[in-house]
């Protein structure tokens, strides 16, 4: 087992443990695998200060928000707010912060409800962080939908039977597990391969489906590569 895999397993066990505790805690994983837990007090001058210790962080980081948006720069934090030169957000809106591996690119795609799975050409590694944000309306066999889908309608013969009718869905690789994304989704890629997007409509024929979603994809940052520093807020 490689060192990085050992670190990932240890972090996964730690995150499960703290999630099961009475009160969630902040978690920071350093480039060498060192883990700090507890309440984050501040991030400034290249240092993350916890009640139980201090650890150096690189100057430039990338903040991933729960709504799928990102912002980068010299990240500071105090009073429950994360900031860069261009943006500030409350801690409870942040999924994670990644330092040392934040080469993110953004692309926008038009996803046609009548075309089934559509290949974005974006190649993802397993565990790579990416996000989707969808807007627009389509018409399916059960009516008008937004990327969030129609709550009351689903079908066993849809592209993704577990998703609702008209919902934005994705999979990574031809044989990947389909995932219901909705209006926004952010997390780690479940598989390795090319990102595929679709509107969840019947698998056999889509003559009753029309319209498009506009989907913005942020990708290119991986929290599981060697040398990366990652911070997970307690409210994740």
Listed by start position, the domains of the chain span 3-103+223-232, 105-221
| Amino acid 89: pLDDT | 94
Give the residue ranges of the chain where pLDDT is below 50.
1-21
| Amino acid 18: pLDDT | 42
List of long-range contacts for 81-90, beta carbons under 8 Å, 24+ apart: 82/43, 87/63, 89/63, 89/65
Q: Locate tokens 């219901």: which residue?
A: 180
Q: Give the number of other CB atoms < 10 A from CB of residue 121.
A: 8
What is the helix (H) or strand (E) element at residue 55, kind and residue range? Answer: strand 53-56
| Amino acid 224: pLDDT | 59
Measured between alpha carbons, how far is residue 160 from residues 44, 199, 203 in Å?
A: 45, 9, 8
- 180-214: per-residue pLDDT in tens? 999 989 888 999 999 999 999 886 566 778 999 99
Q: What pTM value is reported for the model?
A: 0.70
What fold does the segment set 105-221 form as a domain?
A: Jelly Rolls (2.60.120)
| Amino acid 187: pLDDT | 84
Write out the two tokens for 42.
Answer: 């501040």
| Amino acid 221: pLDDT | 64
Buried b (16+ CB within 10 A) or exposed e, 174-200: eebebbbbbbbbbbebbbebebbbbbb
């Amino acid at each position: 087992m490689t060192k990085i895999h050992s670190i990932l397993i240890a972090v996964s066990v730690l995150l499960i443990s703290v999630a099961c505790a009475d009160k969630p805690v902040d978690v920071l994983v350093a480039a060498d695998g060192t883990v700090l837990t507890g309440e984050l007090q501040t991030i400034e001058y290249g240092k993350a200060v916890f009640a139980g210790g201090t650890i150096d962080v690189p100057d430039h980081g990338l903040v991933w928000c729960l709504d799928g948006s990102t912002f980068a720069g010299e990240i500071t934090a105090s009073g429950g707010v994360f900031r860069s030169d261009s943006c500030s957000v409350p801690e409870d809106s942040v999924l994670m912060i990644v330092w040392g591996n934040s080469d993110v690119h953004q692309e926008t795609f038009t996803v046609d409800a009548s075309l089934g799975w559509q290949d974005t050409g974006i190649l993802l590694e397993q565990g790579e962080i990416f996000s989707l944000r969808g807007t627009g309306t389509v018409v399916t066999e059960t009516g008008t939908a937004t990327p969030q889908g129609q709550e009351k309608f689903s079908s066993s013969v849809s592209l993704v039977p577990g998703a609702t009718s008209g919902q934005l869905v994705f999979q990574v690789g031809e044989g990947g597990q389909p995932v219901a994304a909705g209006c926004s989704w952010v997390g780690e890629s479940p598989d390795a391969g090319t990102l595929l997007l679709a509107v969840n409509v019947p698998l056999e024929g889509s003559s009753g489906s029309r319209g498009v979603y506009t989907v913005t994809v942020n990708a290119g940052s991986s929290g599981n590569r060697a040398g990366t520093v990652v911070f997970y807020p307690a409210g994740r």
